[in-house]
Structure 1
Amino acid sequence: MPTDEETLLDYFLALETPLGFRAELIEGEIVVTRPTDGTHEHCFSRVLSQIMRRSAVDMDVSGYKGLEMPRGGRCPKNHVIPDATVAPSEISLFRGAAPWMPSDGVAMVVEVTSSNPERDRVAKRHCYARAGIPLCLLVDRGRAEITLFSDPSGDDYAGHNTAPAGKPLPLPAPFSFELETTDFL
């Protein structure tokens, strides 16, 4: 007989969302997110264009790629969709990947706050840290700041560096450049 956690996961995986909406399973809660607004997409675009042009090594970027991550909280596995998932091109991480892929090999995830900023600020960040994703970049529109979380340790990141919108934020290797945030917000 399936457990409540297995039933929740089965229900989640069978869920069909309306076009443009995203469904995630975060800490035992099914979350459906509506399409993003133009300011979200502006910030998203600015981050991605800099990663593609300025990184020290070639990077592959996937927008809204489903990541299946280790158990956290009450759920059997977290199924989280970052705004962007970034990996070195040399490993071809996204080629042939399933809709929900493991997070092994991911160099950084990017989140731009949207309809539920606290989920982006806390719950999703904890999922990424537990999965051992080295870097998590959060563009926090409500607080007008950009934070790079680093050094995953248990349920969170041990390091973080925050810059107000408009000021550069250094990204370490393998990116090795300062993210310009002048026109983010």
Structure 2
Amino acid sequence: MIERATPMGQATPPTFETLLRTAEEMDTPDGFKAELIRGKIIVSRWPELRCSRPLLALRRELEYHAPDGLIAETAPFLFRFSAAERAYGPSLFVADESTFEGEGRHADGEALSLVGEFTSTSTKDADWNEKLDVYGQLVPVYLVIDMQDSEITCFWDPSPNGYRSRTTVSFGKPLQIPEPFGFSLDTTGF
């Protein structure tokens, strides 16, 4: 076998599948997650302690209002969006329960009915830009819980060009969550 040197500038970038497999196999410390953002593996913290109360309150409301066959969860699962070559581990999600009967360590983003992302100083840019673009083409409802600005924004009605509708309220004001959930979220405790 003959070895051939490859100049540093000409290395082939890893494929989406290679990055996804690497992210799955990473042994991230407790409280951290690995996601594929902008073609790179990004390790970031799960939401801070101050997010716990609103995160659990939101999960309880979504569990109560979710249609049959959907589950609301805060578990650290990775959802892949193959067409965009991205994979995210949302703070909170509502997905088809049959998704979790399969093999592997990541689920298809098409199973998602709702995603909630709690922003931090390190994730805010990705939550408001990168993830908004990807979720906006597929996920029916996207909630951005902006912990720095004390606001929650609901995006819905996805299209190939992104979400067509949005509403923002300050913490403490009610936020209408559209169908298939159809309820008014009390954000007083946020």
Task: Tell whether the structures are fold-level matches, with TM greater than 0.5.
Answer: yes
Match of 2:135 in 1: 128
Match of 1:86 in 2: 94
Please provide the CA RMSD for this pair: 2.2
Decide whether the 8 Å contact of 1:24 with 1:80 is kept in 2. yes
Counterpart mapping for 1:160-175 below 5 A: 160-175=166-181
Match of 1:68 in 2: 80
Cα distance 1:29–1:149, how it changes in 2: closer, same or farther (>3 A)? same
User: How far did residue 13 of structure 1 move?
Assistant: 4.4
Distance 2:143 2:101 in 1: 23
User: How far did residue 95 of structure 1 move?
Assistant: 3.0
User: How far did residue 9 of structure 1 move?
Assistant: 4.8
2:184 is equivalent to residue 182 of structure 1: no
User: How far did residue 129 of structure 1 move?
Assistant: 1.9
Greater RCO (CA < 8 Å, at least 6 residues apart): 1
User: How far did residue 154 of structure 1 move?
Assistant: 2.8
Match of 2:5 in 1: none
User: How far did residue 118 of structure 1 move?
Assistant: 1.6
Deviates more, 1:106-115 or 1:32-41: 32-41
Match of 2:108 in 1: 102
Cα distance 1:143–1:97, how it changes in 2: closer, same or farther (>3 A)? farther
Counting matched residue pairs gives: 175
Match of 2:33 in 1: 22
Deviates more, 1:96-105 or 1:22-31: 96-105
Distance 2:187 2:95 in 1: 22
What letter is aligned with 2:61? Answer: Q
SS of the equivalent of 1:92 reads helix
- Which residue of 51, 63, 67 maps to 1:57? 67
SS of the equivalent of 1:44 reads helix
Q: For structure 2, which runs of at least 5 residues remain unmatched after alignment?
A: 1-10
Distance 1:150 1:160 in 2: 6
Q: In the TM superposition, what whole-angstrom CA distance separates every residue of 1:78-110 from its partner, at most 9, and x where no partner exists?
A: 01111112035xx53333353211112311111
Calculate percent identity across the aligned residue pairs: 32
Distance 1:27 1:146 in 2: 24
Decide whether the 8 Å contact of 1:166 with 1:181 is kept in 2. yes
Q: For structure 1, which runs of at least 5 residues remain unmatched after alignment?
A: none
Choose 1 or 2 for highest CA Rg.
Answer: 2
2:124 is equivalent to residue 117 of structure 1: yes
Q: Which runs of 4+ in 1 moved over 4 A?
A: 7-11
TM-score scaled by length of structure 2: 0.81
Counterpart mapping for 1:137-148 below 5 A: 137-148=143-154
User: How far did residue 35 of structure 1 move?
Assistant: 4.0
